[in-house]
Chain A
Amino acid sequence: MAFRRVPSWRRRTAGLALAVLALCAPVFSAGAAPLEWAVKATYLYKFVAFVDWPPGALGAPGEPVALCIVGPDPFGRQIDEAGAGQQIGDHPIEVRRLRQATRGSGCRVLYVRGGSNRAALAAVAGEPVLTVTDGGGGGVVRFLLTRDGKVRFSIDQAAAAANGLTLSSKLLAVAVRP
């Protein structure tokens, strides 16, 4: 966990040379449990397809759907690679990395890791945003790791309803009961 966090943090905060960042990030990402993050990255995309979005929430055809990563980014390039060429219906997916979640940011999927959960979730409460949390409480979808290291998730339907979202029964069927 620690060394995973360090390179990301360094990438984000330090005003170091791009080359260093570019060199370091792949090294760490590829190193520690890269599968977990790759799986989570693809799941984030796929979640979009299992949500009944309120009318107009995804904007006009062709408009990208924003997948926002708030706070430290644990995926690195993997998420961009997973999303390359992906479409949800007519909508391409655009990955945005935000320091902070704000109301009206246009995010449809909001991934928050760890402690910064509460503020971010509060910021988008009531908006048609599928909130995904990892390692902290709250949000509509919560990533979990099974004992054998498999990525699973649980669902909070009340939270979904609060954000005006209906989740596909297919998604519910594969979710872990909280």
Chain B
Amino acid sequence: MKPDIVRFSNEMRQFGLAVVSAIAVLLAGGLLGAKTEEAYRQRSVEQAKVQADILAAGVAGALAFDDQKTVGENVAAIRRNPQIAAVGVYDVTGVLKARSAASGATGPPDRAPPSSARFHRNGVVVASPVIQQGVRLGEVYLRTAPETLSDTLRRHGGLALLVIMAVMALALLARNTAELQRRSAALEDANLRLLREMDEKARAEEALRQSQKMEALGQLTGGVAHDFNNLLTVIMGGLETIGRAAPPQVGDPTSARLHRARDMALQAAQRAATLTSRLLAFARRQPLEPRAIDVNRMVSGLAELMRSTLGEAVQVETVLGAGTWLTLADIGQLESALLNLAVNARDAMPDGGHLTIETANAALDDAYVAAQSEPVAAGQYVMLAVTDTGVGMDKQTLEHAVEPFFTTKEVGKGTGLGLSQVYGFVRQSAGHIRIYSELGEGTTVRLYLPRYRAAEVAPEERTDEALPGLLVGDETVLLVEDHDDLRAHSAGLLRELGYRVIETADGPAALAALEDNPDIALLFTDVVLPGGMNGRQVADQARARQPGLKVLFTTGYTRNAIVHNGALDPGVQLISKPYSFSELAAKVRRVLDQ
């Protein structure tokens, strides 16, 4: 709209300029015409004067010496010029001595007129004295024929034509200029569009590059985390076994020191496990157990926890939206995410400040969705926002904040895995994350989790992991695990719980063992296996042969057959690596008792 107005006013200016120029040309033409007319009149008067002088010279002698005949001859001679309409010669007393006039033209006056030379509309009139060496001898009168219309036209026609042509040329020029301007404006538009498109393309490429980077980082961290999980399972299991095998001897200093060392090692291993779980979360390979969550209830509970842990300086506030929808997510991961955000907020406010957690319903429309570099579906979401009044982030930091291991905190304080977990979890939950930060102002992180529509189902409380007394058994368990140490460790745990364990390293071996041992009650298999079959295939074939068989999967690494989009298939039981003795005891018992 605006460029059109600009273009229009430009054209108006062009038009105005052309009009002004045309007027100037016309004025100049008129002036020039007037000048030539003036010059023409002067010239005409001069010419008539010359004619009068010639006549005067011719009749001077005749007038002086009263030679009527010569006077008449001179008058006739001068009248032979067709441009001279009337001639009169007067003697010194003013008496008309000779006259001649063209037919139809007025003759000379009867008495000598006073000397003059004037341009009249009906011809130049010259009256001049006849003087010989200072002696006045008489008077001559002469009037030229008026100029014919065709002569006038011929005289001014050229100039008029030039002026008309100039005005026309100006009009043409103005039109062409306007046209040219229109075209250049169109070109400019096209150029602008091209630039915009190039810009968009660059942005899209940048987004693609960014998501590819995140993907590659995910692959890498996921792989490392998986291996670590296996190792941590063994370490933690070993430490637990040590604790159980050598119960603390009261009063024995060596035993007490050993148990302290074991406890510290176990704690370190658990911290390591948390880190690997965050890595897996970032890689979106964390096994999730999504449940319907009432975020308002959850946030209220978390806020209490934060008030007690974040310290006096940080004011924790909650702004909970009315009628907030349910969402479907892994509650443990969501809690971790909110805690990670709270920890970041605290770190950003070393001198204290406000931490606000908000919840609300939100709708992401098509336009918003299209503008995002990460894929997200348009639709209804539950929004959780964590806002702090801290130091904020500059552009550079903001750009890299969610990358794993990116931290601006000193070694030992930051791991660079907080936001990575939040990001991976949200993405894995088909949600969306948005970070707004202004250096010196603070930061807001918004999480959008998809609305859960099955409203009639009451949100499940998180099942308590507390051990109800004895979780032991004597059933036969078929253990399939390719990692030798882990297999030995798991088998040791199960035996410790009283189970009979048959160990196999891959699918075919497991199926063979199943043939030989019909009393197997539980198949406990890793999801990822060598030998051409994965855990799910092994389970399917085993169930085909022995329909009542119970199955428990384990994995540190979930992107495979059993886990669709990180969520367990209905009815599938899974225990994530690394698992503790008690977790394994509870899980195996629960699966067997189903």
CA–CA, A50 to B61, complex, Å?
8
B135 within 8 A of A: yes
CB within 8 Å for A170 and B57 given contacts A43-B65, A49-B64, A50-B64: yes
B214 within 8 A of A: no
B131 to chain A, nearest CB (A): 9
Whether the pair A88, B133 counts as a contact (CB closer than 8 A) is yes
B137 within 8 A of A: yes
A75 within 8 A of B: no
Inter-chain residue pair count (beta carbon < 8 A): 54
B71 to chain A, nearest CB (A): 9
**In the complex, which residues 365-412 of chain B have their Cβ closer than 8 Å to any Cβ of chain A?**
none
Interface string of A8-50 (1 = CB under 8 A from B): 0000000000000000000000000000000100010110111
Whether the pair A88, B134 counts as a contact (CB closer than 8 A) is yes
B479 to chain A, nearest CB (A): 156
The contact of A87 among B57, B64, B134, by CB within 8 Å, is B134
Interface string of B55-69 (1 = CB under 8 A from A): 001101110111100
A38 to chain B, nearest CB (A): 11
In the complex, chain A residues whose CB is within 8 Å of the CB of B62: 173-174
A168 within 8 A of B: yes
B10 within 8 A of A: no
Whether the pair A46, B134 counts as a contact (CB closer than 8 A) is no
CA–CA, A90 to B133, complex, Å?
9
Whether the pair B67, A168 counts as a contact (CB closer than 8 A) is no
Whether the pair A46, B70 counts as a contact (CB closer than 8 A) is no
In the complex, chain A residues whose CB is within 8 Å of the CB of B67: 174
Whether the pair A168, B135 counts as a contact (CB closer than 8 A) is no
B132 within 8 A of A: yes
**In the complex, which residues 112-148 of chain B have their Cβ closer than 8 Å to any Cβ of chain A?**
132-135, 137
CB within 8 Å for A168 and B61 given contacts A39-B66, A174-B67, A174-B70: yes
In the complex, chain B residues whose CB is within 8 Å of the CB of A88: 133-135
Whether the pair B70, A49 counts as a contact (CB closer than 8 A) is no
In the complex, chain A residues whose CB is within 8 Å of the CB of B132: 46, 49-50, 168, 170
CA–CA, A168 to B135, complex, Å?
14
**In the complex, which residues 93-107 of chain A have their Cβ closer than 8 Å to any Cβ of chain B?**
none
CA–CA, A12 to B58, complex, Å?
41
A111 within 8 A of B: no
CB within 8 Å for A86 and B135 given contacts A39-B66, A174-B70: yes
What is the chain A residue whose CB lies nearest that of B74? Answer: A173
Interface string of A147-175 (1 = CB under 8 A from B): 00011110000000000000010111110
A89 within 8 A of B: yes
Whether the pair B134, A49 counts as a contact (CB closer than 8 A) is yes
B449 to chain A, nearest CB (A): 128
Name the interface size band of chain B. 10 to 19
Whether the pair A174, B61 counts as a contact (CB closer than 8 A) is yes
Whether the pair A46, B57 counts as a contact (CB closer than 8 A) is no
A47 to chain B, nearest CB (A): 9
CA–CA, A173 to B70, complex, Å?
8
A72 to chain B, nearest CB (A): 24
CB within 8 Å for A89 and B133 given contacts A39-B66, A173-B70, A174-B70: yes
CA–CA, A69 to B57, complex, Å?
30
What is the chain B residue whose CB lies nearest that of A86? Answer: B135
CA–CA, A168 to B60, complex, Å?
10
CA–CA, A43 to B137, complex, Å?
11
Interface string of A98-135 (1 = CB under 8 A from B): 00000000000000000000000000000000000000
CB within 8 Å for A49 and B133 given contacts A171-B61, A173-B61: yes
A172 to chain B, nearest CB (A): 8
CA–CA, A45 to B62, complex, Å?
15
In the complex, chain B residues whose CB is within 8 Å of the CB of A50: 61, 64, 132-133
CA–CA, A69 to B325, complex, Å?
151
CA–CA, A18 to B137, complex, Å?
36
Whether the pair A174, B65 counts as a contact (CB closer than 8 A) is yes
Q: Which of B58, B60, B62, B70 has the most CB of A within 10 A?
A: B60
What is the chain B residue whose CB lies nearest that of A58? Answer: B133
In the complex, chain A residues whose CB is within 8 Å of the CB of B64: 43, 46, 49-50, 170, 174
In the complex, chain A residues whose CB is within 8 Å of the CB of B133: 48-50, 88-89
Q: Which of B57, B67, B70 has the most CB of A within 10 A?
A: B67
In the complex, chain A residues whose CB is within 8 Å of the CB of B135: 45-46, 48-49, 86-88
CA–CA, A167 to B65, complex, Å?
14
CA–CA, A85 to B22, complex, Å?
65
A152 to chain B, nearest CB (A): 8
B17 to chain A, nearest CB (A): 65
The contact of A170 among B61, B66, B134, by CB within 8 Å, is B61
What is the chain B residue whose CB lies nearest that of A172? Answer: B61
CA–CA, A48 to B58, complex, Å?
18
**In the complex, which residues 36-61 of chain B have their Cβ closer than 8 Å to any Cβ of chain A?**
57-58, 60-61
CA–CA, A86 to B66, complex, Å?
18
CA–CA, A89 to B133, complex, Å?
6
B244 to chain A, nearest CB (A): 161
CA–CA, A90 to B135, complex, Å?
10
Counting from the closest, the 4 A-B pairs by CB-CB distance are: A170-B61, A49-B133, A49-B132, A174-B61
Q: Which residues of A contact B (CB under 8 A)?
A: 39, 43, 45-46, 48-50, 86-90, 150-153, 168, 170-174
List 11 A–B pairs whose Cβ atoms lie within 8 Å, in order of A's numbering. A48-B133, A49-B132, A49-B134, A50-B61, A88-B135, A89-B133, A152-B65, A170-B64, A171-B65, A173-B61, A173-B62
Q: Which residues of B contact A (CB under 8 A)?
A: 57-58, 60-62, 64-67, 70, 132-135, 137
